[in-house]
Amino acid sequence: MGRRFAYVRVSTREQNTDRQTAELRQYVDNEQCIIIDKASGKDFNRPNYQALRQLSTAGDTIYIKSLDRLGRNKEAIKNELAYFKNKGVRIRCLDLPTTMIDTDNDLILDTITNILIEVYGMIAEQERRNIRQRQQEGIEQAKAHGRHLGRPRAAYPAQWDEVYSQWQAKDITALKAMELLGLKRSTFYKLVKQYQQEHQQEQTHHE
């Protein structure tokens, strides 16, 4: 009898792993053998998954809730499954019933499982494309409405417009502008760059 492991993955640190772990505890009761990653499924460069990959040996079984918890790239998933099979490690996926059956007739099971993996892999891959498309659409919509994405913009001090205009007109030096605004050199030029970008975006939006 080999060891039993469970692999759990969610995409972000904010997501909860309780539902997956609760289901997998039916098969793996050793908490130290429940391996959790909070990382994207776009590739397999996840620290705990890579540790499990190296730790597992012939005769071991790894349980996962669904194929997309392993990854979201169909070809990469197939390569990983082939790696474990060649190593003598069995992958049991709760959402792929044929992987949960104990039988000596591996040929029939492998044929059915491979078909299901092809279908599930395509679904996982398409879902990843859909996620990226929704993210891009959200970014474009936010830009269209003039909303800023990313880090919050730095706040301008009082009298910024007046002092900035005087500096641009060369009525005062940059040092004088910094003194009037109470800003350090780095902060002053950061705000200058931000201010100019905002005005450029406004002009582009109204053209």
Mean pLDDT of the 172-194 span: 91
**Amino acid, res. 17:** T
Choice among 53-67, 97-111, 116-130, 165-179 with the minimum mean pLDDT: 97-111
Name the catalytic one among 11, 56, 66, 186: 11
Among residues of the chain, what percentage have pLDDT more than 90? 32
Confidence class of residue 197 from pLDDT cuts 50, 70 and 90? confident
- The domain ranges of the chain are 4-132, 160-206
Most confident of the following: 98-107, 141-150, 167-176: 167-176
Please say if 11 is a catalytic residue: yes
Mean pLDDT of the 57-68 span: 90
Tell me, yes or no, if the pTM score tops 0.85. no
Could you tell me which CATH number the domain at 4-132 has? 3.40.50.1390
Can you give the pLDDT at residue 51? 95
